[in-house]
Structure 1
Amino acid sequence: MNAGLGTAVDPPHPPEHPHGNLDRAAGATMARLAGGVSAHAFLEAWSDWAQHLARAPGRQLELAEHAQRNMLKVAALAANPANAPPFAPKPYDHRFDHAGWQTWPFQLWQQGFLAMQDWWDQATEPMRGLRPEDAERTRFLARQTLDVLSPSNAPLINPEIITETVKTGGRNLTEGAAHFAHDAMQTLTGQRDPAPEGYRIGVDLACTPGQVVYRNDLMELIQYTPQTPQVHARPILIVPAWIMKYYILDLSPENSMVRYLVGQGFTVFMISWTNPTAAQRDLSLEDYRKRGVMAALDAVTAIVPDTPVQAVGYCLGGTILAIAAATMARDGDTRLASVTLMAAQVDFAEAGELLLFLDESQVAFLEDMMWEQGYLDRPQMARAFAAIRAEDLIWTRAVQRYFLGREDVPTDIGVWLSDTTRMPALMHSQYLRGLFLENRLTAGRFAVEGRVIALKDLSVPLFVIGTETDHIAPWRSVYKTQLFTDGDLTFVLTKGGHNSGILSEPGHKGRHYRMSHRPARALYVGPDAWLAEAKAKSGSWWPDWAGWLAAQGGGLMDAPSVGAADKGLAPICPAPGTYVLQP
């Protein structure tokens, strides 16, 4: 057990064997070849599903009848193409958006594929005795296989590719081949293109003025320059996720959360995490709490003394902030005035589709790979996230880029998404095991410095945000923060996904959100019952949040200076600092 992080009683681990390193080296080689995904869990799931289906004649009959109905629907469309198509793509599936798919014979091929997809969705529904996670993994496997076979991937039967090839005289295919060669070379060499013109870090993105006022080997702390003569007395400390660069929260000037907060009269500090190398393989989750969150808090309270801090955590940053806040509550540290958790989970029992990739075999697979290279690399994480929405994130892009010859259109969030970071081996193993796999935090088995912490110890006001279509931190999982805390809590459910729902600046078209307040010690209301009662409000949730922060803000004061030279916290360099530029 790590000295600072563990459980009250750790589960037994396999004994060390004299040739264990040979096994780990072999596992690391297999992991690299498989893109970091263990086949064991999926083969086990497939076997579990097949065996249960084999001994369920009623279920077999039901699926045979469903297949017959689907075939008859497609046959009816073939007999009369004027009929309305019986199957529709999923909302996030854009492979069949081109109008040509609604014409004969392309519509028939599309509908045959969607009929098969519909059947597999039905076939992988839970059965008696079948583990739910095995049903989900089997569905995932079937979906990945079908995606490869989709008619949209075949140039000779994709009307959009045919039209573009005739229009350009085949230039789209030659340009697509050049794109493929370029991407293949980048994959082999691990190199990345520089940020496109208009999307440079520190110039176009992450450009809110400020200074780095503290630095250690794990993070830089940025203090942003005040933009109002007076500010709210209690400063804001933002803890971003370390799986990506911090500037998702300071993206373009028009959608920068940092710029918005500073403009509303808040003193804002931001942690910018280092991009770990193999030499930092032994960084632990406790290091991220102690030398990340707590070191930043020490610096903030030195620069703005005699007042508590409003802490904000996003994604994994919210999880480590919750751990730090619960530890502070346990130890009587009163330096927090409020806590905001944005798309951040504290309970991982319903952690969404990422659980498809996590079991003991998968974690051991990743640990072997990290044991050899010292970290989990960027492409290995990106592939897992992309596979969850392969229809759009892999196949639609592939057709656009390799068959239609179209360049990726640069966007601020697209540049940020490609600017991923590495995960140090020890920390990522602790995170996967202690939180995702064993769910220790809400099970009462998460210990910091040898003593268990509890989220129920939190007494400061909480503001919790979930996003409607989040497949990384599903909103019902985020909502469960209400189940494990007793204090005053405001919950917001906003339109969008894990990133787009958070970037919901005022004026963003088509936005809505739901908001509720739970007083301290109120009875728990489940997420579905809450959703049935919560009314949607149009617009951005940011102004309501800013109002909530102002209510906890401690009144107004003259804007403080940036840094505190007399306390060893003089400005080091301008924002965005140096760590965010690390390759």
Structure 2
Amino acid sequence: MASQPTDRKSANPALAERLQLEVERAVQRGLKGMELLGVNQPAVGRTPKTTLHRRGTLELVHYHASVDEVYRVPILVVMAPTNKGYILDLAPGQSLIEFLLGSGYDVYLIDWNEPTDDERDLKIEDYVLDFIPDCIRRVQQDSGEHDVTLLGYCAGGMLSVIHQSLHVDGPVKNLVCMTTPIDFSKMELFRSLSDERSFDVDRFVDGVGVVPADFVLAGFDALRPASRIAGQIRLWDNLWNDRFVKGYRMMERWGNETLPLPGGYFRQTTKELLQKNALYEGTLRIGGRLVELGKITVPLLHIVAQYDHIVPPACARPLVERAGSPDKEEVVLPGGHVSIAAGANAIKRMWPKLNSWLEERSI
């Protein structure tokens, strides 16, 4: 009697289940691929807030409290002029802002918008001697409190550091920095891109006025030339995963919305920081005044990303080493430049650490 064909499904249920899973994922990849081609951007920055002040490129926002009792000392977050602030408020459950509000902090944020042509000559002086002090005064007025915690991310941290070194008797009670560059000699690719022997920054800035966002973004992409391709491969592998696709699209939107820079600021940071390494060398003068890290004496926390390709730990480390604060701490946590603040590891490690440090200094 002839043998009957073997039922592969019954003979190997694990294989059948795996095949079914791959078929379902292939279908989802097709559907999600069509979704990615759509024009609708993922919603970001949904934590309720009010704009307190807007002046050209500067925007000061106040997030609405989510608990009845808040710590006395409000937090003023300073973003890097190249990036929008919603990286700290991507989505419910993925928002540092939401976490801080839920933990009882009163949160304000200096966000940035595209500089106008009239702002092409803005310099570091405008940020640290005008914008930040003006926003601190407005936070004091709005909150009714004198003391403020300044929290700066990346170049926002650098601006906060410069501000604090020049306002040692001001109202800043605590200084928190995340991935903040100090020793620019450790930013080797940026230094090579800005080498005065091959890049005439004066001619460039005189020609463009406001440095285009595409030029700024190209500089970041040059640090990891294969990262976009690798990211697209990971996206394809995970197109079936709604959560992954949503997160990818939010991060892609943030990266694509990199901001232009005032030419004056770009010229100054290129010459003074990247070419001369003046902040680290102690020769940087802002408004005719010397910037000295040792003059910073307020409680200081610096959160450094272990795998940061933009601000490597060696670039960030001198801040705590040189600050004059008796109460100072550097924390190196696993993660990259962005994931240290907005990734899964941030939720587990950075956010709780930040809260534990702030709570006893915000009373």
* Same fold per superposition (TM over 0.5): yes
Among candidates 262, 271, 290, match of residue 110 of structure 2: 271
The residue aligned with 1:566 is none
RMSD: 2.8
Among candidates 161, 167, 183, match of residue 322 of structure 1: 161
Ranges of 4+ aligned residues in structure 1 off by more than 3 Å: 394-401
CA distance in 1 between counterparts of 2:213 and 2:66 reads: 36
Task: Find out whether 1:550 has 2:351 as its counterpart.
Answer: no
Task: Find out whether 1:312 has 2:151 as its counterpart.
Answer: yes
Could you say what secondary structure the match of 2:341 adopts? coil
Task: Find out whether 1:541 has 2:337 as its counterpart.
Answer: no
Following superposition of structure 1 onto structure 2, how do residues 233-312 of structure 1 map, counting pairs within 5 Å?
Answer: 233-312=72-151
Is the contact made by 2:182 and 2:317 (CA closer than 8 Å) also made in structure 1?
no
The residue aligned with 1:464 is 302
The residue aligned with 1:208 is 47
CA distance in 2 between counterparts of 1:195 and 1:370 reads: 34
Report the TM-score, using the length of structure 1 for normalisation: 0.52
**Paired letter, 1:384:** G
Deviations 1:220-265 (A, max 9, x none): 1101111111100000000001111111111112111111101111
The residue aligned with 1:368 is 203
Among candidates 230, 242, 266, match of residue 69 of structure 2: 230
CA distance in 1 between counterparts of 2:177 and 2:275 reads: 21
| Structure 1, unaligned runs of 5 or more | 1-166, 183-192, 402-407, 513-537, 555-583
CA distance in 2 between counterparts of 1:218 and 1:207 reads: 21
CA distance in 2 between counterparts of 1:399 and 1:255 reads: 20
Among candidates 370, 385, 388, match of residue 220 of structure 2: 385
Is the contact made by 1:237 and 1:311 (CA closer than 8 Å) also made in structure 2?
yes
Larger radius of gyration: 1
Among candidates 320, 333, 351, match of residue 494 of structure 1: 333
CA distance in 2 between counterparts of 1:396 and 1:210 reads: 32
Could you say what secondary structure the match of 2:302 adopts? strand
Is the contact made by 1:495 and 1:501 (CA closer than 8 Å) also made in structure 2?
yes
Following superposition of structure 1 onto structure 2, how do residues 560-579 of structure 1 map, counting pairs within 5 Å?
Answer: none
Task: Find out whether 1:413 has 2:251 as its counterpart.
Answer: yes
The residue aligned with 1:430 is 268
CA distance in 2 between counterparts of 1:396 and 1:295 reads: 40
CA distance in 2 between counterparts of 1:262 and 1:295 reads: 23
- In the alignment of these two chains, the number of paired residues is 323
Report the TM-score, using the length of structure 2 for normalisation: 0.82
Could you say what secondary structure the match of 1:313 adopts? strand
Following superposition of structure 1 onto structure 2, how do residues 482-521 of structure 1 map, counting pairs within 5 Å?
Answer: 482-487=320-325, 488-504=327-343, 508=344, 511=345
CA change 1:349–1:459 in 2 (3 A) is same
Could you say what secondary structure the match of 2:53 adopts? strand
Q: What displacement does 1:415 show?
A: 1.2
Question: Which piece of structure 1 moves more, 258-267 or 494-503?
Answer: 494-503
**Paired letter, 2:281:** A
Question: Which piece of structure 1 moves more, 462-471 or 391-400?
Answer: 391-400
| Structure 2, unaligned runs of 5 or more | 1-25, 237-243
The residue aligned with 1:451 is 289
CA change 1:362–1:337 in 2 (3 A) is farther
The residue aligned with 1:63 is none
Could you say what secondary structure the match of 1:493 adopts? strand
Following superposition of structure 1 onto structure 2, how do residues 46-65 of structure 1 map, counting pairs within 5 Å?
Answer: none
CA distance in 2 between counterparts of 1:469 and 1:352 reads: 15
Q: What displacement does 1:345 show?
A: 1.2
CA change 1:423–1:227 in 2 (3 A) is same
Deviations 1:90-131 (A, max 9, x none): xxxxxxxxxxxxxxxxxxxxxxxxxxxxxxxxxxxxxxxxxx
CA change 1:395–1:442 in 2 (3 A) is closer
Is the contact made by 1:442 and 1:484 (CA closer than 8 Å) also made in structure 2?
no
CA distance in 2 between counterparts of 1:253 and 1:362 reads: 45
Is the contact made by 2:73 and 2:145 (CA closer than 8 Å) also made in structure 1?
no
**Paired letter, 1:312:** L
CA distance in 1 between counterparts of 2:356 and 2:235 reads: 43
Identity of aligned residues (%): 26
The residue aligned with 1:62 is none
